[in-house]
Structure 1
C-alpha cells in the first residue's frame, strides 16, 4: 500500500484551516509608531554611547523605529510600518495629509505602506542630519508650546491612519512612545480621560492593540498611576478586582528606566502575539467559554525565496499555484470532484444481496473488482472522529500525577477570549485560581483544528509572577499533549550506573558558578548565529551597504576566559574525580548513522537485563551472538540459550 501521505492527503490550505479568522490575520503585521514630539522629548541630552554628542528622546525613538524596520524587511517583508508624530506644529507641505482625516497638531512622518529599502533610507538620512546638527529635529518638527494634544485625539488619528492604510486582515498594533506621565493635569481632566478611554475602545473594536513604551529618567520619573492606568486597557486577568480596588492595572515595570533600552524593549514586542487557534472550552454540558491558544516555543527559520519573471524593463514576482490535471482531457480538475483511495491492496467488497441497513458507521460498499473511494469530508471525519474543534474538560487529578516524561511535545498556552463568549475571562480566572490553590491539573479532550487528530491533554495552571527585574510570567494554562502508550519506549538498559555523591558535589560546584542569572534563559539575547549571519548579508544587500564578515559577532560563542576565571579550578577538580571514578569509565555504545542493522548487544546491556530478570526480551540471534563471543554452544531452544547465558553471567 502506498505511504499514507500519498493518498490520504488534503490540500495544504485545508490542512492549516483553523477555527476562526485569526489564522488569516496572522499573515501580515502592521505597526504604527506613535511618537510624542513635545518639548521634553526634543530636549537635548548627553548621548550615553558617544562623548561630546547631544541627542534627544525623539532621536532615540526614531532610531529604534528605523532598526525595527530594517529587521522586519528581512524577517517580515510583507509587513507594513508607519510613523505618526503628535504634539508638533509641523504640517504637510501640500496642505493635505496622506489620509482622509487627521487631528490638529499631529503629523504623519511615514504613512502605512509595505516595507521597502528606500523608505528606510529616508529615515536614515533624517537621523544622519540630526547627528550632525542636534537642532535638526527641533527645526524639522517644531513642538507644540504651552499645551498638548488630547490623548483621545491621538488615538482617533491612529484609528484613521490604520483604517486608510492597513489591510483589513492584518494584525494591527500601535507603539505609543512618550515621556509625559500626566498629559492632562489641568481643567477638564476627567472628561479628557473619559474621551481617551472611549477612543481607545474604538481602536480595540477595530482590532488594534496599543503597546506603550514609557520613557522614565532620574530627573523625570514616569508614574503610570497618574493618567495611563486609568486610560489604557488592563493587561491581566484580574481586571474587575483591580478596578474595584482603584489600583493601577498596569505594572510599574512598563516604563523604561534607561532610554538606550528602548530598542531592546521594542524587539521583545516586535513579533505580534498571534493566536494559533481559537476554540470553545467546554467545562460542562451547556457551560462553554472561549479561549485562544499561543505557541511559546517557535523555531525561527530563513525566509522563503520567491520566483521572479524578467519582463525586460522590470522584475515581477511570479505567483505559483497547484492544480490537478486530467491526463486524458488535459484540463484542470475541480478540487471538489477529487476523491481519495488506496493505490494498491485488496479492495473492500460487499455481497450484493447484503442489506445496507446492517452496515456500521464508516463502511463503504463496493462492487467486486473495484476499490473504495472517499471524499475529502470522509477522510477528514476519519481523522477527527466526527468531533468539532474545541477543548472538553474531563476531570481533575493531583499535580503529582503529571510526570516529567508525559511532556513529549511542545505545549501550548491558552488564554481566555472574551470576544467569543462574554464572561470567559472571569470564568477562566476562577478556574485557574481554583486549580492552582488545590494543586490540581485537569484532563481534557482536545481538537484545536478542523483537520487535526483528537488528543488527550493535561491542563497545567500558571499564576502570574513578577520578579525584581520586572520579568512577567502571565497567568494562564499550559495545554500539554499527553502521549499514548506507544509514544514512550523503554530504555534498552534497565539499570544504569549512578555517580557517587562526591562526584555530584564536585560537578555541582562549577555548574553553580556558570548558571544563568535568575534561572531564566533569554532567547532574544542569543540569536541563531547562522540565521543572524544570513540576515546580516541580506540587510547589507537591501540597503546597498558593504558587508564585512569580520564585523559579525556571534553572541552564542562562550567566553572562554571568563569561564576559566570563574570555574577553571573547580572544573579541574571535577575532571580528576571523574577519571578516578570506576563507574564513569564504562562506555555503553550508541547507535550510529543509519547503515546496516546491528543485531549485536553489549555485555553491559545483557547483564543489566539479567539482573532485572528480563532476559526473555532478547531475541534468539542476540543470545546466540553473545554465546558465540563467549565460546559457548548455541544449540537448543530459546529457553536453553537463556539458561546458558544466565549460567555464564553467574560464573563471571
Structure 2
C-alpha cells in the first residue's frame, strides 16, 4: 500500500476526473495507545501459545501496539504513534514540549512522533525482557495500589499529548485498552462520570476519536453498563432526546472475550475512516444539509517505486516533476497558458496550382489559420461538470422494487450526515432515512461528488442500523448507487440449462452447510492479500535489519483442506458418487459457430501510400507481417524491424 502522501500524486493525462485536494485534508494518521496499567492488567496467566511461559494483559496490549507500529512503518511511514499508560506510579520524564502537563499516575511511555525502527525496537526489547522475567513489566510500570486514576484525567492527558505532538491536519484517534468496567466504584462516581463525559467531549471537539477495546474474561466479565455506557458518546442517528432516555447505547466499542484477539480487532480499526467527499445535500430549493461520503471497497496495492540520488554519504529521494517545453524556444511553458483543441483528422494537404488537393489527400480537411477552436482549462472543466457545483440534489422517490440488481454496475458509496457543515443535518438526515425505510422507497438524485467529476444520476438506498450475533454493527445511512445509462447495459442471452434433482440438491446442501463461514460473514481484514503481505513482510524485515525466512510466511487465504475433509469429507464423497451416476450431468450442449478471426488484409496501394507519406509506423504489426509474408520476406523481429523491411522492399521495387 503506498504512503498516504502518494495518494495525492495524480497523472492528469490518465486520470479521467481531476481530484479535489480538499478530499485529502487529513493525510496523516495519529494513534495514541492509552493502556490501563492496573494490577489486574499485570496479573500473570499461562501463555496460550508457549508452554511454561507466563504473560499478562498489559504484555498483550503492548505487543499489539508494537505489531501495529511495525505494519504502519511499511503502509504509512508518515503516520505517528504514541503510548500512554495510566494507573501506574511511574512518573513521566518528558520535556515541556511533549505532554508535560499530563495528570498524576499517568505515564507517557512514547510521545507522539513519526514512526521509526528504533522507536519500535524499544518496545521489542521491553517485551523480550518481559518474556524472560514475568515481573519485568511490574517493575518497569509499578501499578497504582490505592484507588484509580479518574477517567476524566485520562482523557485530559490524552488531549494534551495529542495537542503537543499531533499535526493539526492529521486524523487523531485514541485506542483505549482496559479490563476494568467500573473504574469509580466510590460514592462520588456520579461526579466522576460527569467529569469523564465532559473531558471526552472536549477531546472529540478537538477532532479526536476514541475507540475502546474492552477486555472480558470468564473470571472477570466486562459490563459496559456500569460506567462506560454513560460516558462514551454514541455515534448513531438517534435524536438527542431519545439518547437521554436510553443511556445504554454504546456503539463503536469492542468487547474482547479472548485477549489473543486484541491484535486482530485492532486491525479492523487500524485504517482511519477518511471521507471521500464532503458536499451539501439539497433536499429542496434553498434547503440543504451536510453529508460525507465513504468508500466501502478499496483495493490495496504495493507502494510505488521511487528514484534515489546517491550523494555519497546518504541517499535522497529524487523529486519527480513534469514540465512542458516549447520545442521552438526550448523554454518551459507556463501550465496556465496551455490551451486544448480537438484533433480534426490528418490535417490539411498541400494544394496544386489549380487549387485542387494533391494525390493521396482524399478525406483530409483544410483548416484556416486561427479558425481551429481552442479551449482553456476552465472551459474544459465546464464541459465536464456542465457548470454545476459539487453536491447531491434530490429529484424524487421510487418504490424499492424499481431498483434492480443489475443496476449496480459500479462500487457504491456510503453517505452519512455532517453536522459540522450545516447545523441540524443529523436530525434531518435521520428523519428522511426513517421515512424512506417505513415507506420502502428509494430516492433518485443527481450527484457530483468532486469538483471536476461528471454529474451522474444515482439511487439512494436506505439502510437501517443492524447488530448481528457477532457484535458487528451495520450503521444507519444511505448507499449512493450510480445508475447506468441505457448503452451501459446489454441484455444477456437466456439459455435454459439442466437442473439437478431434489436428491442431488439435498446431498450438496449437506456439505455446503458444513463449510459455511462462521456467522455468515467474511471479514476481509482477517485475510490479507498474500502477495501484498509477502511483499510487506520482506520490507519489514529489511527495515528492522532482520533475516527474513520465506518459509515462515503463512498464507491465510489458503484453504484448510484437512479440517474441510474432516467436517464434510463423507458428504462430499457421497455427493460426488451421486453426481457420477446422474445422467443429466454428462450431457453436453453442442455449440454452433466459430470465433471470427480479425481482418488483417490490407491493400498494397494503401501500404504504398503510407510508404510515400512516411507513415508506415501507423500500420499494425499483423498488417505488416501479412504484407511481408505475401512478398516472401521474413516476419520476425519487432515492429521497427518490420517497418524497415517493408521500406527496403519498396526501395528495391
TM-score (norm 1): 0.81
Tell which deviates more after alignment, 161-170 or 577-586. Answer: 577-586
SS in structure 2 of the partner of residue 225 of structure 1: helix
Tell which deviates more after alignment, 390-399 or 58-67. Answer: 390-399
- Separation in 2 of the partners of 1:120 and 1:422? 43
How does 1:542-557 map onto structure 2 within 5 Å? Answer: 542-557=543-558
Contact 1:80-1:112 within 8 A present in 2 as well: yes
- Separation in 2 of the partners of 1:488 and 1:390? 26
- Separation in 2 of the partners of 1:456 and 1:24? 27
Question: How many residues were matched structurally?
Answer: 570
- Separation in 1 of the partners of 2:183 and 2:97? 25
Displacement of 1:333 after TM fit?
2.7
SS in structure 1 of the partner of residue 155 of structure 2: helix
Q: Spell out, residue by residue over 1:228-260, the C-alpha distance to the aligned partner (whole angstroms, 9 max, x if none).
A: 222211121125254232431205973222212
Contact 1:242-1:249 within 8 A present in 2 as well: no
- Separation in 2 of the partners of 1:170 and 1:541? 28
- Segments of structure 2 that go 5 or more residues without pairing to the other structure are 1-10, 348-366, 601-653
Please point out which of 7, 17, 20 is paired with 1:17.
20
- Separation in 1 of the partners of 2:195 and 2:23? 29
- Separation in 2 of the partners of 1:588 and 1:406? 32
In structure 2, what is the equivalent of residue 48 of structure 1? 48
- Separation in 1 of the partners of 2:242 and 2:229? 10
In structure 2, what is the equivalent of residue 420 of structure 1? 421
Contact 1:497-1:583 within 8 A present in 2 as well: no
Distance 1:331 1:190, change over 3 A: farther
In structure 2, what is the equivalent of residue 641 of structure 1? none
Contact 2:212-2:252 within 8 A present in 1 as well: no
In structure 1, what is the equivalent of residue 615 of structure 2? none
In structure 1, what is the equivalent of residue 70 of structure 2? 70
- Separation in 1 of the partners of 2:78 and 2:317? 13
Distance 1:13 1:478, change over 3 A: closer
1:265 aligns with 2:265: yes
SS in structure 2 of the partner of residue 229 of structure 1: helix
Displacement of 1:546 after TM fit?
1.7
- Separation in 2 of the partners of 1:281 and 1:10? 31
Tell which deviates more after alignment, 131-140 or 35-44. Answer: 35-44
Contact 1:465-1:474 within 8 A present in 2 as well: yes
Displacement of 1:456 after TM fit?
1.0
- Separation in 2 of the partners of 1:311 and 1:435? 63
Q: Spell out, residue by residue over 1:119-164, the C-alpha distance to the aligned partner (whole angstroms, 9 max, x if none).
A: 1111100000111111111111122231322222222221222122
In structure 2, what is the equivalent of residue 531 of structure 1? 532
- Separation in 1 of the partners of 2:19 and 2:406? 29
Displacement of 1:538 after TM fit?
1.2
How does 1:479-628 map onto structure 2 within 5 Å? Answer: 479-491=480-492, 493-502=493-502, 504-575=505-576, 580-582=582-584, 585-586=587-588, 596-597=597-598
Contact 2:498-2:584 within 8 A present in 1 as well: no
In structure 1, what is the equivalent of residue 138 of structure 2? 138
In structure 1, what is the equivalent of residue 119 of structure 2? 119
TM-score (norm 2): 0.81
Displacement of 1:508 after TM fit?
3.9
In structure 2, what is the equivalent of residue 191 of structure 1? 191
Contact 2:212-2:253 within 8 A present in 1 as well: no
Q: Spell out, residue by residue over 1:273-299, the C-alpha distance to the aligned partner (whole angstroms, 9 max, x if none).
A: 111111111112222111111111111
In structure 1, what is the equivalent of residue 325 of structure 2? 325
In structure 2, what is the equivalent of residue 620 of structure 1? none
Distance 1:496 1:246, change over 3 A: closer
SS in structure 1 of the partner of residue 143 of structure 2: coil
Tell which deviates more after alignment, 446-455 or 197-206. Answer: 197-206
- Segments of structure 1 that go 5 or more residues without pairing to the other structure are 1-7, 348-365, 600-652
- Separation in 1 of the partners of 2:510 and 2:463? 31
SS in structure 1 of the partner of residue 340 of structure 2: coil
How does 1:82-121 map onto structure 2 within 5 Å? Answer: 82-93=82-93, 98-99=98-99, 101-121=101-121
- Separation in 2 of the partners of 1:85 and 1:239? 35
- Separation in 2 of the partners of 1:258 and 1:219? 12
Contact 1:391-1:447 within 8 A present in 2 as well: yes
Displacement of 1:596 after TM fit?
4.2
In structure 2, what is the equivalent of residue 446 of structure 1? 447
Contact 2:179-2:214 within 8 A present in 1 as well: yes
Contact 2:97-2:164 within 8 A present in 1 as well: no
- Separation in 1 of the partners of 2:120 and 2:324? 42
- Separation in 2 of the partners of 1:330 and 1:368? 23
- Separation in 1 of the partners of 2:211 and 2:385? 38
Tell which deviates more after alignment, 401-410 or 281-290. Answer: 281-290
- Separation in 1 of the partners of 2:94 and 2:488? 67
| Superposition RMSD in Å | 2.9
Displacement of 1:451 after TM fit?
0.8
Distance 1:394 1:89, change over 3 A: same
In structure 1, what is the equivalent of residue 459 of structure 2? 458
- Separation in 2 of the partners of 1:429 and 1:16? 30
Distance 1:323 1:100, change over 3 A: farther
Displacement of 1:113 after TM fit?
1.4
Tell which deviates more after alignment, 225-234 or 129-138. Answer: 225-234
